[in-house]
């Protein structure tokens, strides 16, 4: 099993509507991509100097399942929104 973590730092001018669109896009991914074992995301609630603005945590059976998710057209659509809104994106993938 693989855990896939994503941390987003939004550009200062990103609006709440843009973040809502990202959340709406992410919410449909588990139903669209059967390889997703678990999937949760949310906005940072503490807003410290070292915090990122948003996190996503998901699980996949193996690397092949993660690769399928990464190239899936529905994921790619959301990724366009994410990249347009972010100054920085961090990813960590580890085996559990």
The fold of the 2-95 domain, in CATH, is: Alpha-Beta Plaits (3.30.70)
pLDDT of residue 79: 98
pLDDT tier for residue 22 given thresholds of 50, 70 and 90: very high
Spell out where the chain has E strands: 2-10, 36-43, 54-60, 86-95
d(CA 46, CA 95): 28
pLDDT for position 16: 97
Mean pLDDT for 33-44 is 98
- Confidence class of residue 70 from pLDDT cuts 50, 70 and 90? very high
Give the pLDDT of residue 59. Answer: 98
* pTM score of the predicted model: 0.95
Phi, psi of 95 (to 5 degrees): -85, 135
Tell me the torsion sign for CA atoms 55, 56, 59, 63: negative
């Amino acid at each position: 099993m693989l855990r896939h973590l994503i941390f987003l730092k939004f550009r200062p001018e990103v609006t709440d509507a843009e973040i809502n669109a990202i959340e709406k896009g992410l919410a449909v991914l588990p139903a669209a991509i059967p390889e997703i074992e678990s999937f949760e995301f949310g906005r940072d609630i503490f807003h410290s100097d070292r915090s990122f603005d948003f996190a996503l945590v998901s699980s996949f059976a193996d690397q092949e399942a993660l690769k399928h998710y990464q190239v899936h057209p529905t994921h790619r659509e959301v990724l366009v929104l994410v990249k347009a809104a972010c100054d920085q994106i961090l990813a960590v993938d580890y085996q559990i």
